[in-house]
Structures are given as C-alpha cells and as structure tokens.
Structure 1
C-alpha cells in the first residue's frame, strides 16, 4: 500500500509546524524521517495516523484521500506507535495487544481462534509472550514499548507509522525491532533520532528542518557530512559498515558546538 503526503502543512496556534511537505512512501518500503528536535517530524506523522488534520495539503493512501475515509476504515490499514502511546490503566500485556484487533471487530464479541493466534504471534515476535499476564504498569519502559509494538502488529496493518520506536529499548531489542520492520513487507514511515539506525533500517530517508523537507533520497545520498553539519550542527565522518556497506556516521564536535557545550 502506497502512502503519499502531498503539500502537507500544519499550523497550530499561529505557528506553522510543517510546511508544504511532499513525501512518497512506496508500498513495502521503509522510509525514515530524521531532523533536529522541533523540526516537525512527529507533527507530520500525526497527520498520517489522523491525530491531526493538515491545515493544507492531502495524505493519500493508495490514491485515496485519507481524510475522506472513516476512522475505522483507516485504522484497518494504518497502525501507529506514538510517543504518547502508554496507558494509565493497568491492563495486562495480553489485553493491550488484543486491543489491536479493535478496528476489525464489531461490538464486544470475544476474539475468535484466529485472532487469538494473531495476538500470540505478535507477542512472540516482539519477545513479550512471557509478559502476557503482567500488568502493563508494572513493566519497564522497554518492555512496555515492545508490548505496544505487538499491539500494532496484531492490528495487521498495511501501513505502520512509528514515532521513535527504539526509545527505551536496549541494543538487542533496537536491532531486533528494526530487523523485524525490514522483514515485515509492509509500508513503514518511521521517525528516528539515531542516524546510524536510520541508515541501517531505511530504504529512503527524508530530512526535516524548520518544518520543511530539505533532503530526500537513499541513506547514501542523504547522510553526507555537508548536510549533517548544516542541519544538525555537528561534524561527521561517513564510513561504510564493514558488513552491509550502509553509511555510518562518526561524530566530532564543531567549534560552535563546543562553545555551546561550555555554556550548558
């Protein structure tokens, strides 16, 4: 399923947070959004999972205006892991994952055998099956994040929207999650702060700065020293990963960054 953002702008309280953003996410590909804090990444994602309505522009899902679909219809296609995806209610992990089936159900009927298997498989894939009967509020941040990701998988989406999915995860689960995303075969739009993870996991990368898309292309095309210093304010040396050949960044402080660090 193709996803396309066409001239999307978002204005909130008089501030334009996203400006004329046009971005294509081809079916079955992983596209990452990177950029400094406050550059509009999460705001752009909110337009895709319909937490925000664009002030201008359109989000297209397989050629259909996403805003014209019913919420249930779009939820059957698009699953999202947000930065605010926690729960204040102490559901069990299994109950949280089962909520992923909500867009596919009518009324309060119990899950059938197939749906229970979908949930079980999602928990296995995210390494949380052993937490099934634990209250979600008793889990660590990383465990809770993996439960919420399992809920997304249980939704059986065709488009997966992930906002900083590696937050709270240890290195093993960061690598495992992004490997799973690569193998899933669905359309993925993901915000990542770690540029090396973005390089390893994404087919294409879009760079946002000040709400605008300033670069888009493959990691090799986009993650170059000149752009990194201009957008992020740090000097970087690009080396090839010894196994995959993907560009990896080694950072050093610029003079300006050193001066800023001394004032913190």
Structure 2
C-alpha cells in the first residue's frame, strides 16, 4: 500500500511549519525523515496519523485522499508510534497492547481468540511477553517503547509511522527494532535523528530544513558531507560501512560556524 505526501503544507498562527512537502513511500518500503529540530518532521507525521489537518496538499494512500476515509478506517490502515504516546494510567502491558485491536472491534466487544493470538504474537515479536502482567508505569523508557510498538503491530496496519522510535532504547534494541522494520513487509515512514541509523535502516531518506524538503533519495546519494554541513551545521566525513556498504558519518567536534 503506497503512501504519498502530496504538496503537504501546514500553517499555524501565521507560521509555516511544513511547506509543499511531496514525498513517496512505496508499498513495503522504509523511508526516513531526517532534519534538525523544528524542521517539520513530526508535524508531517501528525498529518499522516490524522491528529493534524494540513492547510494545503494531501496525504494519499494508494492515490486516495486520506481525509476522505473515516477515522475508523484510517486507523485500521495506519498505525503510529509517537513521541507523545505515553500511557498515563497504569494499565498492564497486556492491556495496552490489546488497545491496538480497538479500530477492528465494535463498541466494548471483548477480545476473541484471534485478537488474543495477535496480542501474544506482537509481545513475543518485541520480546515483552514476560512483562505482560506488569503495570506500564513501572517499566523503563525502552520497555515502554517496545510496548507501544507491539500495540501498533496489533492493529495489523498496512502503513506504520514512527516518530523517533529508538528513543530510550539501548544499542541492541535499536538495532533489533530497525532490523524488524526492514523485514516487516509494511510501508514505513520513520523520523530518526541518528543519521547513521537512518542510513542503515532506510531505503530512501528525505531531508527537511525549515519545513521544506531539501533532498530526497538513496542514503548514499543524500548523506553527503556538504549536506550535513549545510543542513545540520556539523562537519563530517562520510565512509562506507565495510560490511553493509551503507554510508556512515564520522563527526568532527569542531563547529562549522554555520
């Protein structure tokens, strides 16, 4: 299922947060959004999972305007793991994961055997089955991240959007999560701050600066020393990973002055 940001523009209080952003995420592909803080990455994602309405342009799924779908139907197709997806009530892990089935159930219908199997499979996949009876508020930040991703998977989405999913995760779980995304057979749009992780995990990368798309393409074409200097204000040498062939950045601690 293809995802397309078609001239997406978001203006709030007279300030343009995203300007004419066009980006294609092909079915089964993993596309990363990178850019400095405040460049519009999270704003663009909010339009995809419909907590924000674009001022102009559209989000399209297989060519159809997402705004033409019911909220229930869009929640069946698109799952989101957000930065502000904290759980304030001390539900158990099992209860939080089960919330992913809400778009598919009517009213307060109880989980059936298939729903329970989906929840258990998602917890197994994220390595949190042993936490099922624990209260979410007792978990570490990294454990909560995995719970929220399990909830998203339980939705059985066709499209998955993630905003900084590696926050709070240790190195092992960062690698496992991004490896999972590459093999998940889902259409994935992910915001990442770590450019090296983005290069390793994404088929294509879009770079935002001040709300505008300034570069888009394969990681080896986009992540150049010049772009990193101009967009992020950091000096870096680009090398090739000896195993994967992915571009990797070696940063200098000397400011560029830009």
For the aligned pair, the TM-score class normalised by the smaller chain equals over 0.9
Alignment of 1:102-141 (within 5 A): 102-141=102-141
Per the normalisation by structure 2, the TM-score is 0.98
Match of 1:253, SS state, is strand
Runs of 4+ aligned residues of structure 1 deviating over 4 Å after TM superposition are none
Counterpart residue number, 2:71: 71
Q: In 1, Cα distance between the equivalents of 2:239 and 2:223?
A: 11
2:155 paired residue number: 155
CA distance in 2, matches of 1:232, 1:160: 27
CA-CA distance at 1:253 after TM superposition: 3.1
Q: Distance in 1 between matches of 2:225 and 2:81?
A: 31
Please say if 1:239 is aligned against 2:244.
no
Distance in 1, Cα, partners of 2:240 & 2:184: 25
Equivalent residue, structure 2, for 1:9: 9
Which residue does the alignment assign to 1:18? Answer: 18
Partner of 1:166: 166
Matched residue, 1:228: 228
Q: Distance in 2 between matches of 1:195 and 1:2?
A: 24
Q: 2:200, 2:163 → 1: CA distance? A: 17
**1:116-140 deviation per Cα after TM superposition (whole angstroms, max 9, x unaligned):** 1111010011111110000001111
Residue pairs, 1:147-226, within 5 angstroms: 147-226=147-226
Partners in 1 of 2:71 and 2:255 — Cα distance? 50
2-structure distance, mates of 1:255, 1:25 = 34
Deviation at 1:255, TM superposition (A): 4.2
How many positions carry a matched residue from both structures? Answer: 258
- What is the DSSP-based 3-state SS (H/G/I as helix, E as strand, rest coil) of the residue aligned with 1:121? helix
Partner of 1:33: 33
Matched, 1:95 2:95: yes
8 Å contact kept, 1:40–1:208: yes
Unaligned runs of 5+ in 2: none
The answer as to whether partners of 2:199 and 2:247 remain within 8 angstroms in 1 is: yes
What are the ranges of 5 or more consecutive residues in structure 1 without an aligned counterpart?
A: none
Task: Output the CA distance in 1 between the equivalents of 2:31 and 2:84.
Answer: 21
CA contact (8 A) 1:233 1:254 kept: no
CA distance in 1, matches of 2:127, 2:255: 44
**Secondary structure of 1:157's partner?**
coil
TM-align CA RMSD: 0.9
Q: Alpha-carbon deviation of 1:171?
A: 0.5
Contact 1:3 1:62 in 2 (8 A): yes
State the TM-score, normalizing by the size of structure 1: 0.96
Task: Please give the secondary structure, in 1, of the residue aligned with 2:243.
Answer: coil
